[in-house]
């Protein structure tokens, strides 16, 4: 069996999932479903544990409700999630990436990116259009291949089971069973 695809999740992907953000959470749930079935692994940095605390909306930081902390920690502890430690090599590489890529402006983003680069991960999932998505294929992994930086993918077959159920109901030609009456009981 081939090794599963390895994708890195930036903090904003976790936040989208936990906050159930419209248009994003569905994509994140699809990735989680793929990971649960063994088709991929989700990687993240231990730094993410601290960073999944707030989200900036229109320049204003909004704290995540404390009640969501446990939900996030339970996701991180799943067997399909790999938590990489921030160590000397990650720190040095993060600083070098900041120097090499002027569009990469935040040390936190550089730590995430360095983790994906160092571990030769297949994709880097983020919703950060300002600092990370613009670097797609311009950052090289440790093995020299370009790193794909993208948003989590859309489920190619959303609602498949719901659609199948609707089709079964729509094509069912069995006559309906009339309601039972006291004069004519059914079976």
Residue 184: the pLDDT is: 52
Domain that holds residue 107: 5-171
What whole-number distance in Å separates Cα of residue 69 and Cα of residue 89? 29
Q: Exposure of 37 by Cβ count < 10 A (0-12 exposed, 13-18 middle, 19+ buried)? A: exposed
Domain contains 110: yes
pLDDT top residue among 31 and 162? 31
Q: Exposure of 180 by Cβ count < 10 A (0-12 exposed, 13-18 middle, 19+ buried)? A: exposed
Domain contains 179: no
Tokens representing 146 are 């370009």
Domain contains 120: yes
pLDDT top residue among 53 and 123? 123
What residues are paired with 8 via a beta bridge? 43, 124
Tokens representing 38 are 């063994």
Compute the residue count for the chain. Answer: 187
Tokens representing 44 are 């993240």
Short-list 115, 94, 107, CA closest to 42: 115
- β-strands 81-84, 5-9 pairing: unpaired
Domain contains 62: yes
Domain contains 27: yes
Q: How many domains does the chain have?
A: 1
Give me the CATH number covering residue 32.
Answer: 3.40.50.1010
Whether 26 has a pLDDT exceeding 50, the answer reads: yes
**E strand or H helix at 5:** strand 5-9
Domain contains 34: yes
Domain contains 176: no
Short-list 98, 159, 166, CA closest to 132: 98
Per residue in 133-175, pLDDT tens?
999 999 999 999 999 999 999 988 776 544 544 555 555 554 5
**E strand or H helix at 7:** strand 5-9
Domain contains 187: no
Asked if 115 contacts 37 with a C-beta cutoff of 8 angstroms, the reply is no
Per residue in 62-110, pLDDT tens?
677 788 888 899 989 999 999 999 999 999 999 999 999 999 999 999 9
């Amino acid at each position: 069996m081939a090794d599963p695809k390895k994708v890195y999740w930036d903090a904003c992907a976790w936040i989208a999932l936990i906050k159930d953000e419209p248009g994003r959470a569905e994509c994140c749930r699809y990735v989680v479903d793929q990971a649960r079935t063994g088709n991929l692994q989700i990687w993240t940095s231990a730094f993410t544990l601290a960073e999944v605390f707030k989200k900036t909306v229109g320049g204003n930081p909004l704290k995540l409700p404390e009640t969501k902390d446990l939900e996030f920690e339970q996701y991180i502890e799943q067997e399909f999630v790999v938590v990489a430690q921030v160590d000397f090599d990650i720190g040095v590489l993060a600083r070098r990436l900041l120097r090499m890529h002027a569009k990469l402006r935040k040390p936190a983003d550089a730590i995430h990116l360095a983790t994906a680069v160092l571990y030769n991960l297949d994709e880097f999932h983020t919703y950060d259009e300002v600092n990370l998505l613009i670097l797609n294929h311009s950052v090289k992994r440790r093995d020299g291949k370009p790193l794909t930086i993208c948003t989590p993918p859309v489920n190619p077959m959303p609602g498949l089971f719901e659609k199948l159920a609707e089709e079964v109901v729509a094509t069912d030609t069995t006559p309906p069973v009339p309601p039972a009456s006291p004069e004519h009981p059914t079976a």
